């Protein structure tokens, strides 16, 4: 494998089903299904397509008991190292753990259920479930859903320190339970933040395998470029043991995430690096989440493309627009954008920073977004003129 020639941090080995990450093993490439998990046939078809494209691990979202029951059946029909994405209902771990190779939880989302319980009690439960069922775990920290207790400790413009502290605390606690079969991810939509937070984490805990990714990277080619910048800077320094390229794509094109990941790894190993520019610093930046099973209306994917086309006239302005596909990550992960859209079954919620503007139908949202974008451009133009 070409990636064996890459410099690697001396991380410990973590086995995920039939593969092992860390400890000098090849960098694994992952993706996530975008079909609704309850649609067993469609999900099996997509898992098989991802495996055929070279996916080492395939993650599937489980948000309900019906999802868990479906994934149990799906696991009997596929030959894949399956990871389950536990977002808000961590208690589903015990239902699905016998059927998967890895459990992923988000420290920030542990607060959504049983709020009276300390997070340590919930993590101990997850570690015990993983141990009893021969599962690995991933501690998945995201910029838009950080533990609120951590965010309160730092300045509003410091998104990196809360993520880092949250990850380190969870690692220390898992180690205290003598559970070390885990990896960590620290993801942001800005590749510069991804580089910084992972570099800082690796300096403090070089023993822990890292899952790299730029969350809400958006549509190709921009999403691939953002991801490439982060991966080139990190992997070339030995940081990273498994990767995911998160792209906003129609379901049938999800294997392109695997192709992009493999190509980036091959290019880094061969010295074909391209990240010599500071991507998106002073120009329009559109971020959009990868399509996944939580998307409640597949019109989200078309909307993301329509937003990109409609806003082309604003390319020269330093403005960030976020387009999110579900209610799990949408509200929080649009807060830092100048304009944010998070999509429900019938309406798109429009935000200006953390401020809610309103909910509009999929037919109404583009003109409404354009009006808000024009206001921001006018303000920026006036500011430049007066200065």
Domain boundary pick from 270, 295, 317 = 270
156 and 301 together in one domain:
no
61-92 residue pLDDT tens:
998 999 999 999 999 999 999 999 987 789 99
Q: Per-residue b/e over 162-194, b at no fewer than 16 CB within 10 Å?
A: bbbbbbbbbbebbeeeebebbbbbbbbbbbbbb
Distance from C-alpha of 24 to C-alpha of 15, rounded to nearest angstrom:
13
Q: Average pLDDT in the 115-126 region?
A: 94
pLDDT score at 280: 47
Instruction: Look at the alpha carbons of 327, 67, 121, 209 in this order and tell me if their dihedral is positive or negative.
Output: negative
**Which residue do the tokens 């200065």 mark?**
387
Q: Is the pLDDT of residue 255 over 70?
A: yes
Indicate which CATH number applies to the domain containing 352. 3.30.413.10
* Tokens encoding 24: 């000098």
pLDDT score at 132: 98
Q: Is the pLDDT of residue 46 over 50?
A: yes
* Tokens encoding 307: 């937003």
147-177 residue pLDDT tens:
888 888 999 889 999 999 999 999 999 999 9
pLDDT score at 229: 92
pLDDT score at 28: 97
**Percent with pLDDT over 90 in the chain:** 59
Distance from C-alpha of 279 to C-alpha of 8, rounded to nearest angstrom:
26
**Could you tell me if residue 280 is inside a domain?**
no
Strand, helix or coil at 182? strand
263 and 307 together in one domain:
no
HSE of 244, CA atoms in CB hemisphere, 13 A = 29
Q: How many structural domains are present in the chain?
A: 2
**Could you tell me if residue 276 is inside a domain?**
no
pLDDT score at 384: 62
Q: Is the pLDDT of residue 242 over 90?
A: yes
pLDDT score at 248: 87
**Could you tell me if residue 279 is inside a domain?**
no
Distance from C-alpha of 208 to C-alpha of 139, rounded to nearest angstrom:
11
**Could you tell me if residue 167 is inside a domain?**
yes
Distance from C-alpha of 98 to C-alpha of 278, rounded to nearest angstrom:
45
**Percent with pLDDT over 70 in the chain:** 91
Q: Is the pLDDT of residue 133 over 50?
A: yes
Distance from C-alpha of 361 to C-alpha of 136, rounded to nearest angstrom:
41
296 and 241 together in one domain:
no
Residues in the chain: 387
- More confident site: 6 or 136: 136
215 and 71 together in one domain:
yes
Q: Is the pLDDT of residue 236 over 60?
A: yes
Question: pTM for the full model?
Answer: 0.81
166 and 261 together in one domain:
yes
* DSSP state letters, 210-261: EEE--TTB-STTHHHHHHHHHHHHHHTTT--SEEE------GGGTTHHHHHH
| Owning domain of residue 316 | 285-386
55 and 169 together in one domain:
yes
Domain boundary pick from 215, 236, 270 = 270
pLDDT score at 275: 60
Question: Which residues are within 8 A (CB) of 218 and not within 5 positions of it... i.e. 6 or more apart?
Answer: 226, 247, 248, 286, 287, 288, 304
25 and 92 together in one domain:
yes
pLDDT score at 157: 86
180 and 41 together in one domain:
yes
* Mean pLDDT for all residues in the chain: 89
289 and 247 together in one domain:
no
Question: Which residues are within 8 A (CB) of 308 and not within 5 positions of it... i.e. 6 or more apart?
Answer: 219, 286
204 near 222, Cβ under 8 Å? no
* Tokens encoding 243: 């990767």
Question: Which residues are within 8 A (CB) of 157 and not within 5 positions of it... i.e. 6 or more apart?
Answer: none
370 alpha-carbon distance from chain centroid: 27
Q: Is the pLDDT of residue 352 over 70?
A: yes
- H or E element, residue 183: strand 182-187
11 near 207, Cβ under 8 Å? yes
Q: Is the pLDDT of residue 190 over 70?
A: yes
């Amino acid at each position: 494998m070409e990636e064996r020639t890459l410099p690697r941090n001396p991380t410990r080995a973590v086995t995920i089903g039939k593969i092992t990450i860390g400890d000098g093993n090849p960098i694994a490439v992952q993706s996530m299904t975008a079909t609704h998990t309850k649609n067993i046939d469609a999900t099996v078809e997509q898992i098989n397509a991802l495996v055929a494209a070279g996916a080492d691990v395939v993650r599937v979202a489980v948000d309900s008991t019906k999802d868990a029951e479906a994934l149990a059946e799906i696991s009997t029909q596929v030959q894949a190292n399956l990871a389950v994405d536990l977002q808000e209902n961590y208690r589903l771990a015990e239902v699905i753990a016998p059927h998967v190779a890895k459990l992923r939880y988000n420290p920030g989302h542990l607060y959504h259920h049983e709020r009276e319980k300390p997070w340590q009690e919930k993590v101990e439960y997850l570690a015990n479930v993983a141990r009893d069922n021969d599962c690995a775990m991933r501690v998945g920290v995201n910029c838009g859903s950080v533990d609120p207790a951590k965010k309160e400790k730092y300045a509003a413009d410091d998104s990196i320190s809360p993520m880092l502290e949250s990850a380190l605390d969870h690692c220390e606690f898992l180690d205290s339970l003598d559970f070390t079969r885990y990896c960590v991810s620290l993801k942001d939509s800005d590749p510069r933040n991804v580089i910084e937070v992972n570099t800082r984490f690796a300096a403090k805990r070089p023993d822990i395998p890292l899952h790299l990714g730029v969350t809400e990277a958006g549509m190709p080619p921009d999403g691939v470029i953002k991801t490439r910048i982060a991966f080139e800077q990190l992997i070339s320094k030995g940081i990273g043991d498994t990767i995911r390229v998160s792209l906003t794509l129609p379901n049938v094109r999800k294997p392109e995430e695997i192709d992009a990941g493999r190509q980036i790894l091959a290019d880094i190993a061969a010295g074909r690096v391209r990240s010599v520019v500071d991507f998106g610093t002073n120009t329009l930046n559109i971020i959009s989440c990868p399509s996944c099973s939580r998307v409640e209306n597949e019109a989200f994917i078309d909307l993301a493309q329509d937003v990109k086309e409609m806003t082309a006239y604003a390319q020269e302005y330093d403005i960030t627009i976020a387009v999110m596909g579900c209610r799990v990550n949408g509200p929080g992960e649009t807060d830092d954008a100048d304009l944010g859209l998070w999509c429900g079954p019938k309406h798109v919620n429009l935000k200006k920073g953390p401020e809610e503007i309103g909910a509009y139908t999929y037919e109404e949202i583009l003109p409404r977004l354009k009006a808000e974008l024009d206001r921001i451009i006018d303000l920026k133009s006036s500011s430049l003129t007066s200065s």
